[in-house]
Amino acid sequence: MKVLIVSLDNVGDTVISLAIHEALRGVDGLGAAWWTKDYSRAVVPLAGAHIEHYRCDPFWDRSPGAGKGGLLPFLRTILALRRARFDAALIVHGNWRKNLACLLAGIGRRYSAKGAFATDPVTVKGPHVLDSCRALLAAFLGRDPGELSYPLSPAAYGESRAARELFTGGWAVVHPFSGNPARNLPLLAWPAVLEPLAAAGLRVLVNVSPAEKELFNRTARGPYAARPADLVFSCDLGLSIADLAYAVSRAAVFVGNNSGPLHLASALGTPCVGVFQRSWVPRIAPRGKFHPLLALFTDSPAEIPQDEVPALVRRLLSARDGRPHNC
């Protein structure tokens, strides 16, 4: 039997939905494949090599920093799925568009919590994405799979030699931006966040685009202005998602806004601090190997007291067991 995991969402949701694939591993007679956005395509290989994977941005949805997907690529993906002859689809964040797309792809059983064109409507008992994943699996398997997890490990994602050589010793990783500026900790708050990292003697990888690097350099270098060699920018290194995952896995601490890299850090078990809107916590707060310490806001991250995130960073650093990095 062939089942398609449909996660036409952004990076964070797709990382969480790896729990479905994890739960289906080892089920006799079952082959699982993925359909994701092209935008979040790099997530699936982190779960293991040689996973069957279809990717295309929906023509009705806009990804962060990108336009809507094209209709023709979407139709080509539908045709490829028809040729693959899937028996069932587990549709994360289901709606009538995704459900209809799976119908057009010739998938006979369509498990979805919402929307028309589902053959198997699913009742979700909790607000979190993991609750949705659990409900989809329960309906498909005919039994409750129990608590879900989405662990990642270096053995799964195959980091590059260059990344192994670079990310040795004491490191921290920070992600000061996200796909939505309204949920970003103000840049003026970041020098204080960097203070405990500098005091701990850590080098820092800043995960940014070239334009974001310029903004960060003008405002947020803080204590690292005097030690520029210890502040490294991902855009200068050309890191793949596997290399970023490796860097995060080696980090003593990760600090970032509500975004895909925070979910990645949680999945890898790296001690992490997240900036999160209070109303989003029940739905999408990371629940990987390490549950982040969260600095919460109601309407704007500017509400967060200036010393709160640095205090959470110090708390994680003081709790380290003596290792220079997370293994």
Task: Note the pLDDT tens digit of each residue in 183-227.
Answer: 999 999 999 999 999 999 999 999 999 999 999 999 999 999 999
Averaged pLDDT for residues 100-112: 97
Averaged pLDDT for residues 233-237: 92
pLDDT at 157: 55
What value does the CA radius of gyration of the chain take, rounded to a whole number of Å?
20
pLDDT at 327: 34
57: CATH: 3.40.50.2000
Which one has a higher pLDDT value, 110 or 237?
110
Domain boundary pick from 141, 176, 200: 141
Provide, rounded to the nearest whole percent, the portion of the chain with pLDDT above 90: 75
Averaged pLDDT for residues 126-133: 94
Give me the DSSP letters along 165-214: HHS-SSEEEEE---S-GGGSPPGGGHHHHHHHHHHTT-EEEE---HHHHH
Domain interval for residue 292: 154-318
Answer yes or no: is 325 within a domain.
Answer: no
* 120 and 167 together in one domain: no
69-93 burial code (b ≥16 CB/10 A, e <16):
beeeebeebbeebeebebebbbbbb
* 165 and 310 together in one domain: yes
Burial tier of 172 (Cβ tally within 10 Å: 0-12, 13-18, 19+): buried
- Summarised one tens digit per residue, pLDDT across range 278-298 is 999 999 999 999 999 999 999
pLDDT at 64: 73
* 133 and 38 together in one domain: yes
Other beta carbons within 10 Å of 315: 14
- Residue 158 scores a pLDDT above 80: no
Are 147 and 161 contacting, i.e. CB atoms less than 8 angstroms apart? no
pLDDT at 159: 61
* 134 and 266 together in one domain: no
Domain boundary pick from 113, 141, 169: 141
- Summarised one tens digit per residue, pLDDT across range 23-60 is 998 799 999 999 999 888 888 888 877 889 999 999 99
* 86 and 191 together in one domain: no
- Angle at the Cα of 16 (from 12 to 17), degrees rounded to 5? 115
pLDDT at 160: 66
Averaged pLDDT for residues 224-251: 89
The SS3 of residue 273 is strand
Q: How confident is the model at residue 302 (pLDDT cuts 50, 70, 90)?
A: very high
Averaged pLDDT for residues 263-271: 93
pLDDT at 245: 87
111-143 burial code (b ≥16 CB/10 A, e <16):
bbbbbebbeeebebeeebbbbbbbbbbbbbeee
- Residue 307 scores a pLDDT above 90: yes
* 90 and 236 together in one domain: no
Answer yes or no: is 288 within a domain.
Answer: yes
Averaged pLDDT for residues 116-120: 97
* 180 and 311 together in one domain: yes
Are 101 and 7 contacting, i.e. CB atoms less than 8 angstroms apart? no
* 161 and 225 together in one domain: yes
Amino acid type, 210: P
* 14 and 162 together in one domain: no
Are 113 and 121 contacting, i.e. CB atoms less than 8 angstroms apart? yes
Are 297 and 284 contacting, i.e. CB atoms less than 8 angstroms apart? no
> What is the phi/psi pair of residue 147, to 5°?
-60, 135
Domain count, the chain: 2
Answer yes or no: is 295 within a domain.
Answer: yes
Answer yes or no: is 168 within a domain.
Answer: yes
The encoded tokens of residue 75 equal 């139709």
Answer yes or no: is 41 within a domain.
Answer: yes
- Summarised one tens digit per residue, pLDDT across range 57-78 is 999 988 776 778 899 999 999 9
* 180 and 298 together in one domain: yes
* 273 and 207 together in one domain: yes
Domain boundary pick from 95, 112, 141: 141
- Residue 123 scores a pLDDT above 70: yes
Answer yes or no: is 146 within a domain.
Answer: no
Burial tier of 156 (Cβ tally within 10 Å: 0-12, 13-18, 19+): middle
The SS3 of residue 272 is strand
pLDDT at 322: 42
Averaged pLDDT for residues 225-234: 94
The gap between the terminal CA atoms of the chain, to the nearest Å, is 37
The encoded tokens of residue 242 equal 């596997």
Lowest mean pLDDT among 89-98, 174-183, 234-243, 246-255: 234-243
* 126 and 241 together in one domain: no
Answer yes or no: is 107 within a domain.
Answer: yes
- Residue 155 scores a pLDDT above 80: no
pLDDT at 325: 38
Provide, rounded to the nearest whole percent, the portion of the chain with pLDDT above 70: 94
